[in-house]
Amino acid sequence: MSVAGSPAVGYLDAAATAPLRPEARAAMLAVLEGGQANASSVHSPGFRARELVEGARARIARAVGATPGEVIFTSGGTEANSLAIVGLALARPRGRHIVTTAIEHSSVLESCRYLERVFGFELTVLPVDADGLVDQGAAAQAIRPDTTLVSVGLANGEIGTVQSLGELAARASGLGVTVHTDAVQAAAALPVSFGSGAPPGAAPDPSAWPGRSVDALTVASHKFGGPQGVGALIVRAHLPIEPIIHGGGQERGARSGTENVAGIAGFAAAVAALTGQIGSTALALMDSRDELIARLLAEVPGAALTGHASERLPGHASFTISGVSGESLLVALDTAGVAVSSGSACAAGKSEPSPVLLALGLSDELAQTAVRFSLAEPLAPATLDRIIQVLRAEVLRG
């Protein structure tokens, strides 16, 4: 597999951005080469652009058991999370209290902190255990009469842990609290349903389906083979939402701005390619992941798994390797032609330890030794051997 502008490498950073699927590329090229037009224009090219956007909306809605009117296109996961948190909390006058967790993506946590800072909201940030699982009982108790929103991610990109949202979401929803889940990482590998039934190809973990008790769900196209810079907030049609981007009133007034027609077409093509394959892909990735985990723990001194051993994303393996800096591991692997991350790509470039790893109870020092492998396809045996070789050499070098 190769990434743009670089030689063929073992690309093991799908959790940052997955390789573009050929179906998505073809759909985007068809739009770009067919002559782009504004989907709001009142002429034939504009009508065709509108048709593409609405076709994509219907396809994405069908894949997650939503209705087309529930899909709001955004510029990606960050914007969809911001719209969910800020837009839903400001539009709903139940109270000024939000519940979230210590391991949410920064786009969730920073949106909550924005509401705290500017609008006087109160925040309950739920702790997680050493595996990254939220205590369901503590979470349920955190809900108060003035709680407006609960936002808990379905799967964590840094440590791979998959939450069982069912109990918390059902309780919050039963009390009239709006429930949002960031499904950006989960949607690439697990069946994610906004409806009451199991999605097609449902496996391997039924408890991961957010289902009817979730009111809003975030997805981002580039995490499963669509283009970067496009995503969606899927939100129940009856819920009021305060826009965070103001203008011409596109996307049922919730997100103004000319639609990214080519990006949206690529997003829908990636969704179509993913749907139906998800169970078999997950099983193949799990085999590779488990082999990578087993060999790394057995053959690399000081290696420890981060995140849950079994409740984790199928292609995700993350570790700390005591005594070696994560950055130097990254460079050594990159030099050997293997692309990985030390934490989330969004946090890359920062030298502070990851707040997610600290929330698990890791020391600053150990958190700085993190390395993450995230697979879009099963690992070639030679790549696995190479990884082990490079890591062992780095540990020996100290």
Ligand X SMILES: Cc1ncc(COP(=O)(O)O)c(C=O)c1O
Residues that bind ligand X (CB under 6 A): 76-78, 81, 105, 107, 153, 157, 182, 184-185, 220, 231, 344-346
CA-nearest of 18, 59, 14 to 200 is 59
Q: Which single residue brings its beta carbon nearest to ligand X?
A: 77
Known catalytic membership, residue 346 = yes
Contacts of 230 by beta carbon, 8 Å cutoff, 6+ apart: 73, 74, 75, 76, 220, 221, 222, 260, 263, 264, 266, 267
Query: 344 or 383: whose CB is closer to ligand X?
Result: 344
Q: How far is the CB of 181 from ligand X (least distance, A)?
A: 10
Q: Which of 58, 170, 239, 346 is catalytic?
A: 346
Cα dihedral: 114, 117, 121, 124 (round 10): 80
Please, which residue, 133 or 175, has the CB nearer to ligand X? 133
Residue 229: which H helix or E strand, with range?
none
Element (H, E) at 47: helix 44-64
Residue 112 C-beta: closest distance to ligand X, Å: 14
Q: Which is nearer to ligand X, 315 or 384 (CB)?
A: 315
Question: How far apart, in whole angstroms, are the C-alpha atoms of residue 270 and residue 200?
Answer: 16
Instruction: State in angstroms the smallest separation of the CB of 15 from ligand X.
Output: 6
Instruction: Tell me the closest approach of the beta carbon of residue 321 to ligand X, in angstroms.
Output: 22
Distance in Å, CB of 78 to ligand X, minimum: 3
Residue 48 · residue 37 · CB < 8 Å: yes
**C-alpha span between 86 and 142 (Å, rounded):** 20
Question: Tokens standing for 181?
Answer: 């889940």
| Omega before 204 within 30 of 0, i.e. cis | yes
Taking alpha carbons only, the member of 142, 155, 156 closest to residue 98 is 142
Catalytically active residues are 346
